[in-house]
Amino acid sequence: MSQHQKSVNRAWVPVAREVISLLLWVTQRLLRMLLRRPMLDIVLLVFVLWLITRFITTVLIPQPEPVLLQPAAVFEGR
């Protein structure tokens, strides 16, 4: 009963390619699993709505100017 083993002396480029593809596969599986959950969808929807309202209030609606302006501080030297 002998087992077939790959040679250990491999170039770093194919190894890096395999590691990156494995990381991408795991990330894709995790995102699919997370995005199937309705609670996460609700949280993401609330976050997007918050971003939209923040954009509207800061960019599209002008902020009122302060009515009472404080005079500039004047320092008198001796």
Task: Establish if 76 belongs to a structural domain.
Answer: no
Residue 12's Cβ-side half-sphere holds a number of Cα atoms within 13 Å equal to 0
Task: Establish if 26 belongs to a structural domain.
Answer: yes
Residues 6+ apart with CB under 8 A from 41: 35
Condensed to tens digits (0 to 9), the pLDDT of residues 18-75 reads: 888 998 999 888 878 777 777 777 888 889 899 988 887 877 776 777 677 777 777 7
Task: Establish if 7 belongs to a structural domain.
Answer: no
Task: Establish if 25 belongs to a structural domain.
Answer: yes
Give me the residue label for tokens 């404080």. Answer: 70
Task: Establish if 73 belongs to a structural domain.
Answer: no
Task: Establish if 67 belongs to a structural domain.
Answer: no
Boundaries of domain holding 32: 12-60
Task: Establish if 6 belongs to a structural domain.
Answer: no
Domain count, the chain: 1
pTM: 0.37
Question: Do 34 and 40 meet the contact criterion of CB atoms below 8 Å apart?
Answer: yes
Task: Establish if 66 belongs to a structural domain.
Answer: no
